[in-house]
């Protein structure tokens, strides 16, 4: 390995307050591997920016040495879009929990899919509000009990994959919180010109630990001959797992299509693409 390849260091000196063995460590390691590989193949650290919301997931902001913003609860998408509009040259990675993206930030998540701005959104879906100690979110299964829901959750969970497909997302994927899967899906997403929605199944080992069993039910969309350009097939695959049933869980890219990105509609941003010198004042 050339000497300069060893120099990329994205870890910070912040002490981790994630629970020991939390799958968030795998997400962090996967993102780190992805960014390091990108830097080793020619990009600079300054070519990346990250945005995180509020929750356990958001601590990734403290543990990854990238520029960006730790924003308000549920407000990751507008901040990512703002960064992209301010500097279309940077690669923006957004990180939310399922509470952040599907409860407090649901409207922003839907519009992010619709706008198709060229940034990538990673959802750490542990099916609970973990930082506030385990209350149900829009993806918690029916029957789940904890202190605030002693009678069990009554409402059906949403299906984020179907929701994103319906909202117009041009790249929709799901993986498990595994270093290789995260690294792989981000490498696929960065090649995609447009908004990329990536749901990561990230079982909370304290408040939703039975989701660890999902690991035994995963199967790869790529290896099963799935046609990711077909909306019909994507919808069918999205229906297979609804957080309530015991079906096998498809992982990989459900859907990918190219369509104009938000930034294409603004000539001013094209000039910015050429650097600040491209701007007429
Ligand atoms: C507007 C707002 N509402 C509620 C809270 C309280 N709060 C802080 S963290 C959190 C839970 C976050 O859950 P999630 O986004 O799923 O992330 P996790 O902790 O599970 O990673 C909540 C509700 C807040 N900080 N701001």
Tell whether the torsion through CA atoms of 155, 160, 165 and 167 is positive or negative. positive
CATH code at 193? 3.40.50.970
Residues 6+ apart with CB under 8 A from 240: 247, 248, 249, 250
Instruction: Convert the pLDDT of each residue in 134-177 to its tens digit.
Output: 999 999 999 999 999 999 999 999 999 999 999 999 999 999 99
Q: Is residue 16 part of a domain?
A: no
Q: Is residue 108 part of a domain?
A: yes
From the alpha carbon of 97, which atom of ligand 1 is closest? 15
Q: Is residue 17 part of a domain?
A: no
Distance (Å) from CA 58 to ligand 1 centroid = 9
Q: What is the residue with the minimal CA distance to atom 3 of ligand 1?
A: 73
Instruction: Convert the pLDDT of each residue in 239-279 to its tens digit.
Output: 999 999 999 999 999 999 999 999 999 888 887 877 766 55
Distance (Å) from CA 271 to ligand 1 centroid = 38
Q: Is residue 159 part of a domain?
A: yes
Q: Which residue from 17, 131, 177, 204 has its CB within 8 A of the most atoms of ligand 1, so it is best to mutate?
A: 131
Distance (Å) from CA 204 to ligand 1 centroid = 14
Which residues have CB under 6 Å of ligand 1? 54-57, 73, 97-100, 104, 124, 126, 128-132, 137
Residue found under tokens 């399922």: 98
Q: Is residue 136 part of a domain?
A: yes
Cβ atoms of 146 and 167 within 8 Å: the answer is no
Structural domain boundaries, residue 84:
22-273
Tell whether the torsion through CA atoms of 182, 183, 186 and 191 is positive or negative. negative
Q: Is residue 41 part of a domain?
A: yes
Instruction: Convert the pLDDT of each residue in 66-89 to its tens digit.
Output: 999 999 999 999 999 999 999 999
Number of separate domains in the chain: 1
Distance (Å) from CA 78 to ligand 1 centroid = 17
| Pairwise CA distance, residues 224 & 254, whole Å | 12
């Amino acid at each position: 390995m050339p000497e300069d390849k060893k120099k990329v260091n994205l870890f910070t000196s912040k002490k981790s307050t994630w629970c020991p063995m939390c799958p968030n460590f795998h997400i962090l390691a996967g993102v780190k591997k992805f960014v390091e590989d990108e830097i080793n193949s020619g990009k600079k650290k300054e070519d990346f920016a990250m945005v995180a919301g509020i929750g356990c997931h958001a601590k990734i902001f403290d543990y990854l040495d990238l520029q960006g913003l730790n924003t308000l609860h549920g407000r990751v998408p507008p901040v990512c879009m703002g960064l992209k509009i301010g500097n279309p040259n940077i690669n923006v990675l957004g990180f939310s929990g399922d509470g952040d993206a599907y409860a407090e930030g649901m409207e922003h998540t839907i519009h992010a899919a619709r706008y198709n701005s060229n940034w990538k959104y990673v959802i750490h879906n542990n099916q609970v509000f973990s930082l506030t100690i385990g209350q149900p979110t829009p993806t918690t299964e029916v029957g789940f009990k904890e202190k605030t829901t002693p009678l069990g959750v009554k409402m059906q969970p949403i299906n984020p994959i179907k929701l994103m497909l319906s909202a117009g997302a041009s790249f929709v994927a799901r993986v498990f919180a595994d270093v290789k899967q995260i690294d792989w899906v981000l490498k696929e997403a960065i090649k995609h010109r447009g908004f990329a929605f990536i749901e990561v199944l990230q079982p909370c080992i304290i408040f939703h630990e039975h989701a660890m069993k999902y690991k035994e039910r995963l199967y790869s969309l790529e290896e099963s001959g799935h046609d990711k350009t077909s909306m019909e097939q994507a919808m069918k695959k999205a229906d297979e797992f609804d957080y309530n049933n015991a079906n096998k869980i498809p992982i990989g890219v459900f859907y990918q299509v190219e369509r104009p990105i938000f930034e294409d509609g603004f000539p001013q941003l094209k000039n910015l693409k050429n650097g600040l010198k491209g701007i007429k004042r």
